[in-house]
Amino acid sequence: MPRRTRNWLDCSCYHLTHRCLDRNYFFEHSITRDTYMKELREMIERFKIDILDYIVTSNHVHLLVYAGKGTEIAMGMQYLQGRMAQRYNMLRGREGAFWSGRYHATLIENGIHLSQCMFYIDYNMMRSGIVSHPSEWKHSGYHELCGAKMRYMIINKRKLLSRLGMSGEDNRFKEWYVRTIDSKSSIYMKRVEYWTESLAVGDESWIGKIKGLIGYKRLRVVAAESEKSVHYTEDQSQPFFVNEQKTPYLLY
């Protein structure tokens, strides 16, 4: 029998973004965001999807996920978006669409690019000027990642650390994570469209491989602006914050 090739969607991390219909503030009230969180927990129990980070804002959602099979994401999101729309319409006595079409998925390379996406998500409400610190927004992964929330966990922290290249470094991760959040770095305070609009973000060689696997000739590889990156170092003698010029490459 011929050897089966692994789908490029498999064993990968994705940044998923989903907006409410016409950018309406359907998540304006905390109780509605609570409902979404409940449905999200139900979704990961039913489907083989790991949540690495998340935030539920007033009119859209960010999910950083990992799946061994890409088809699990499609099935899980179909379940989640359907359940949320159904619950909201029932509670509000309304009919019609809840979401603005299908969610957008951006493939993220492991390591530094994944860490940048994680912080980009967690800075969301600060970037919008709604809060001065992520601790002020209940419905986000910050509370789990900094260790403040210990019950009803959604994030698979072990999987996140593995994909960041920090396996077994829970304490160092927490210190690095909290220091990066508290620094309110200008890198993450600026809105960057490629995290929510591109097909993939990673190093040039990795993006080239993804483009080849997808096989669509019209796809473009674009170099983003170089920015100073804050990332983890294995060298115990070095500080947690290491500045280097790192150019993300994007697939459109």
CA 248 – CA 242 distance, rounded (Å): 17
User: Could you read off the pLDDT tens digit of each residue along the chain, which spans 252 residues?
Assistant: 333 334 555 679 999 999 999 999 999 999 999 999 999 999 999 999 999 999 999 999 999 999 998 899 999 999 999 999 999 999 999 999 999 999 999 999 999 899 999 999 999 999 999 999 999 999 999 999 999 988 889 999 999 999 999 999 999 899 999 989 998 988 899 999 999 999 999 999 999 999 888 877 788 898 887 555 555 445 544 444 444 456 788 899
Q: Which candidate, 17, 87, 21, places its Cα nearest to that of 54? A: 17
For residue 129, give both structure tokens.
């000027």
